[in-house]
Amino acid sequence: MSPNDQSTQDRTAPSSLHLAVALDGAGWHPAAWREPGARPGELFGARYWADLAHTAERGLLDLLTIEDAFGLQSGDHLTGSQRRTDRVQGRFDASLVAAFLAPLTSRIGLVPTVTTTHTEPFHVASALSTLDHDSHGRAGWRVQTSIRADEAAHVGRRVIPGVRRSELDTARGRALVAELFGEATDAVEVVRRLWDSWEDGAEIRDAATGRFVDRDALHHVDFEGRYFSVRGPSIVPRPPQGQPLVTSLAHGYAPSLLAARVGDVVFTTPHDADDAARIVTQVRTAERAAGRTAPPLRILGDLVVVLGDTDAEARDRLARLDARDPLSSDAAVLATTPSGLADTLLAWRGAGLDGYRLRPAVLPTDLDAIVDGLVPELQRRGAFRTGYTETTLRERFGLPRPASRYAAGADPALVPAPTPTGATA
């Protein structure tokens, strides 16, 4: 182990939780935009997103994720039906928001959501490589598939049959999910190969000799699979992290298996400590089934949070929001104080969670409460950092910087080894 590897391990000791925040519109509650502290008139303005990022960075959070999709928000996120006019509609492109935030921030990780279903992996690799360069090693990717028929219709290159949540456990639903996850596995593998297609130091930039690039340090990836045929190399030099952080959300075994094959961090949705223990076991089982050789997945629990100075105030806030438009959530909803939330986070950590991705019910109100209430409480308990010490997002999660797989002497164990669907090369 090198001194750098040892220092990385020390900085990510078990006593310090990983803490991320998920940003989406006016907040995760559908009635958030109608709250007094919300800023609905600014949702489509740069200042709003800059303010949120600055607040999250002031709170020393590990990273922020930015939601995205190919369709407008709706009552049924699978089919796109029941579109509401009394809810926030529309959002900025997540990768472009992250690119805008990169020079405005200095330490927090920036993780846009980008779908694999309708986006070519070459474009994804280029965009995220660029983000990693712009942010000096703070880029990540939240991998997402799209099962919505209306989103497929926007692109027009494939037909996806509408599937409701109740149909996911049918033969038809399972087949569609398997296809989309297989495509996602191949897409991430292509992106990772493209990130590796430039070796470190491939750019010579020697004006005296007229050599800008070392031609032998650029590689064709020559990927041939069921869903993609990509030659490479990338058009963007290798990212500062080598491989930006790859994350995904998992509700069950199939998405846990996808994360085990291609990811670094997995977001999960436990509803209590026992459920958290079950999920951790499920993820570790998926890692073994995938034959994972990369470092173990970092497992973060997702929670929707409604915070107040007292439990009664927090519950009243949630009741007021639900009275306007009830929240239906895949993740547990906690209405409590920052101290009460800290109690829950530390209690559930015993199940094996590495940290949490918090979804503020109302922005910026609940993000402010996380930063000004929860973070100081966790710091008092010795469970959260008091300053940023790492340079890159991978370092923050205790992950080594892998060498390009195409470089002589590269250690393949440092790169996730997915199971492509029929890929060669």
Quote the pLDDT of residue 11: 38
For the chain, the average pLDDT equals 91
Reported as a pLDDT band with limits 50, 70 and 90, residue 381 is very high
| 76, 224, 235, 283, 406 from 218: Cα distances, Å | 45, 19, 10, 36, 9
Residue 113 marked ligand-binding: yes
> Average pLDDT of 140-144?
97
Alpha carbon dihedral 393, 395, 397, 401, in 10-degree steps, equals: 100
Reported as a pLDDT band with limits 50, 70 and 90, residue 268 is very high
Reported as a pLDDT band with limits 50, 70 and 90, residue 149 is confident
Quote the pLDDT of residue 12: 39
Reported as a pLDDT band with limits 50, 70 and 90, residue 425 is very low
Gap between the terminal Cα atoms of the chain: 31
Strand bridging mode 245-249 / 265-268: parallel
Residue predicted with more confidence, 206 or 256: 256
pLDDT over 50 at 411, yes or no: yes
Alpha carbon dihedral 386, 367, 91, 184, in 10-degree steps, equals: 50
Quote the pLDDT of residue 410: 64
Q: What is the DSSP secondary structure assignment for residue 212, as one 8-state letter?
A: E
Ordered by where they begin, the domains of the chain are 3-414 (3.20.20.30)
The H or E element spanning position 300 is strand 298-307
Name residues whose C-beta falls within 8 Å of residue 383's C-beta, 6 or more positions apart in sequence: 15, 16, 17, 342, 345, 346
pLDDT over 80 at 27, yes or no: yes
Residue 51 marked ligand-binding: no
Reported as a pLDDT band with limits 50, 70 and 90, residue 147 is confident
Quote the pLDDT of residue 175: 87
Quote the pLDDT of residue 163: 74
269-296: pLDDT as tens digits: 999 999 999 999 999 999 999 999 999 9
Quote the pLDDT of residue 408: 82
SS3 267: strand
Quote the pLDDT of residue 5: 42
Percent of the chain with pLDDT over 70: 91
Residue predicted with more confidence, 121 or 177: 121
- Ranking 30-39, 83-92, 183-192 by mean pLDDT, the lowest is 83-92
180-208: pLDDT as tens digits: 999 999 999 999 999 999 999 999 998 99
pLDDT over 80 at 375, yes or no: yes
Residue predicted with more confidence, 257 or 74: 257
Quote the pLDDT of residue 7: 38
Reported as a pLDDT band with limits 50, 70 and 90, residue 79 is low
pTM confidence score: 0.91
**Rounded-to-integer distance, Cα 420 and Cα 256, Å:** 16
Reported as a pLDDT band with limits 50, 70 and 90, residue 146 is confident
| 259, 270, 273, 357, 375 from 353: Cα distances, Å | 15, 10, 10, 11, 18
> Average pLDDT of 337-366?
98
Quote the pLDDT of residue 172: 81
Quote the pLDDT of residue 70: 85
Residue predicted with more confidence, 12 or 373: 373
Percent of the chain with pLDDT over 90: 80
> Average pLDDT of 127-132?
98
